[in-house]
């Protein structure tokens, strides 16, 4: 791995930096947009979205013919690093990362025409209907049924943990279309308009107190057969499609380093709050966290250098996901230990505007969402180390 930019990469980096400087309004930098854009930031977000769209940078990794910028993984790496350094929000979410690539590879012309534009403009919100109460890690065991009836499919069942379903216009959904087939082979991939009669979205409030995900119930929901993506019963394989996306988690490593820097600054400025000796304990903990973020950065470089060499990261991406998500929890725990009793406060006048305990509670989900730590360890053991399945 060459850590220094080539001349070309350095030029591209300064182009991205200048662009962010001009197009990303200051009030958006570092803003929390995870549960949607707060009303007071919508105008700023629109400006940023339009600027990104003008360069094809909402979906920087999509091919140009579909409205992306066709950036190589290495260029995406530089782009994502600079966006994270500036604290600028990502735009497009799962529509850009998951659904768009699936439609580009498996969608028919009508589906591409109907849906890709709305993803790129950010006007159409999507949710992912995969997990069910009995099917998360073992997703292929899902039970939501799809039965063919004339020109439609009729869906019955339940999804759970569906992020953003309460704000979504459409859902990409996996449902069982052939219960007799082996479990991976009887699943179909549907595009479902969330306004269709028979869909009931119920909020799930997480332990941090916010409404991010939901339960979604389907009662005789009719989906036109033209909304099947790819072949019937091949949905499992269609749902696992990815484009040549940068998969290094470099953005997470940058924001973790920035979080640590802000905490260390606070520790220095508030030295008088610590009892004799206790600041040393906290200082040592931050030193460990700082070293660990360097590890994350190295893991990111490892992944991107594999991609640049045309290899597909597999267990390496699991190592990065596992380490990064567990580190986010250690960083939050260290902040809480540093703040002591003040770490209980979630008011605006509390240290860090009360965001530390919110992050502490929120980060619990990081080792579950997108594949649990146990599942990542299983992948590392079997695919990475070649150990036998337990
Ligand atoms: C914040 C958040 C957002 C989410 N958003 C979405 C969404 O938008 N759409 C969606 O479809 N899903 C979503 N999910 C669901 C997520 O994909 C699942 O929670 C995750 O896959 C785990 O599945 P599960 O919750 O059913 O747990 P289970 O699979 O039941 O796991 C329970 C426990 O058993 C362990 N375990 C299970 N299998 C194994 C194994 N083979 N080996 C070792 N240990 C094992 C797990 O590690 C875990 O500790 C979201 C989850 C979170 C936390």
pLDDT in tens, 154-213: 999 999 999 999 999 999 999 999 999 999 999 999 999 999 999 999 999 999 999 999
Active-site choice (85, 132, 246, 316) = 246
pLDDT of 385 strictly over 80: yes
CA dist., res. 180 & res. 186, Å (int)? 7
Most confident stretch, 237-241, 275-279, 377-381: 377-381
Please give the average per-residue pLDDT across 15-39, as a whole number.
88
128 lines ligand 1 (CB under 6 A): yes
Please give the average per-residue pLDDT across 78-97, as a whole number.
93
Least confident span in 23-37, 61-75, 318-332: 23-37
For residue 326, give every residue at least 6 positions away whose Cβ sits within 8 Å of its Cβ, in sequence order, or none. Answer: 367, 373
List alpha helices for 36-72, DSSP H: 42-55
Please give the average per-residue pLDDT across 132-147, as a whole number.
97
163 lines ligand 1 (CB under 6 A): yes
Residue 353: pLDDT band by 50, 70, 90 thresholds? Answer: very high
Using only C-alpha atoms, the chain has a radius of gyration, in whole angstroms, of 22
What percentage of the chain carries pLDDT values higher than 70?
99
CA 149 to chain CA centroid, nearest Å: 35
pTM over 0.85: yes
Mean pLDDT, all residues of the chain: 94
pLDDT digits (tens, 9 = 90+) for 34-49: 667 788 888 999 999 9
Q: Which atom of ligand 1 is nearest to the CA of 133?
A: 26
CA dist., res. 14 & res. 376, Å (int)? 36
For residue 201, give every residue at least 6 positions away whose Cβ sits within 8 Å of its Cβ, in sequence order, or none. Answer: 162, 165, 166, 194, 214, 215, 216, 217
Instruction: State the pLDDT at residue 244.
Output: 72
pLDDT of 279 strictly over 70: yes
Q: Which of 93, 143, 157, 161 to mutate to test the pocket of ligand 1 (most atoms within 8 A of CB)?
A: 161
131 lines ligand 1 (CB under 6 A): yes
pLDDT of 249 strictly over 90: no
Q: Is the dihedral of CA 83, 88, 62, 296 positive or negative?
A: positive
Known catalytic residue: 246? yes
Distance of CA 325 from the midpoint of ligand 1 (Å): 14
CA 231 to chain CA centroid, nearest Å: 27
368 lines ligand 1 (CB under 6 A): yes
Please give the average per-residue pLDDT across 365-388, as a whole number.
96
What percentage of the chain carries pLDDT values higher than 90?
86
220 lines ligand 1 (CB under 6 A): no
Backbone φ and ψ of 191, nearest 5°? -105, 125
Specify whether the CB–CB gap between 256 and 85 falls below 8 A: no
Residue 93: pLDDT band by 50, 70, 90 thresholds? Answer: confident
Token pair listed for 224: 């036109």
Instruction: State the pLDDT at residue 105.
Output: 94
Q: Which residues make beta-bridge pairs with 216?
A: 159, 201
pLDDT of 32 strictly over 80: no
- Ligand 1: residue whose CA is nearest its atom 45: 374
Instruction: State the pLDDT at residue 35.
Output: 67
pLDDT digits (tens, 9 = 90+) for 95-127: 999 999 999 999 999 999 999 999 998 789 999
């Amino acid at each position: 791995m060459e850590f220094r930019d080539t001349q070309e990469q350095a030029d591209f980096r300064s182009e991205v930096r200048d662009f962010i400087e001009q197009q990303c309004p200051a009030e958006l930098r570092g803003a929390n947009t995870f549960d949607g854009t707060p009303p007071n930031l919508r105008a700023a977000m629109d400006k940023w979205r339009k600027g990104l769209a003008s360069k094809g940078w909402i979906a920087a990794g999509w091919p140009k013919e579909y409205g992306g910028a066709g950036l190589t993984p290495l260029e995406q790496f530089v782009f994502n690093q600079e966006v994270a350094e500036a604290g600028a929000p990502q735009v497009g979410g799962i529509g850009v990362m998951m659904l768009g690539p699936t439609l580009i590879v498996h969608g028919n012309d009508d589906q591409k025409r109907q849906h890709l534009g709305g993803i790129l403009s950010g006007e159409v919100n999507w949710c992912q209907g995969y997990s069910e109460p009995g099917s998360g890690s073992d997703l292929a065991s899902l039970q939501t049924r799809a039965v063919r009836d004339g020109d439609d499919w009729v869906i019955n069942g339940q999804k759970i943990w569906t992020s953003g379903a309460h704000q979504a216009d459409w859902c990409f959904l996996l449902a069982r279309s052939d219960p007799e087939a082996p479990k991976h082979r009887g699943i179909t991939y549907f595009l479902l308009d969330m306004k269709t009669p028979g869909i009931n979205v119920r909020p799930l409030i997480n332990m941090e107190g916010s409404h991010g995900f939901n339960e979604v119930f389907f009662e005789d929901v009719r989906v036109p057969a033209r909304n099947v993506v790819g072949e019937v019963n091949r949905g499992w394989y269609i749902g696992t499609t990815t484009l040549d996306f940068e998969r290094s988690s470099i953005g997470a490593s940058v924001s973790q380093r920035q979080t640590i820097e802000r905490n260390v600054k606070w520790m220095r400025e508030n030295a008088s709050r610590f009892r004799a000796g206790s600041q040393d304990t906290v200082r040592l903990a931050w030193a460990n966290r700082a070293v660990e973020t360097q590890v994350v950065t190295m893991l990111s470089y490892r992944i991107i250098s594999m991609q640049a060499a045309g290899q597909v990261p597999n267990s390496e991406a699991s190592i990065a996901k596992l380490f990064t998500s567990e580190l986010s929890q250690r960083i939050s725990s260290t902040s809480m230990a540093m703040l002591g009793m003040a770490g209980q406060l979630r008011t605006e006048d509390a240290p860090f505007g009360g965001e530390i305990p919110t992050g502490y509670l929120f980060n619990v989900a990081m080792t579950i969402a997108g594949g649990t730590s146990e599942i990542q360890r299983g992948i590392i053991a079997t695919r990475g180390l070649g150990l036998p399945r337990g």
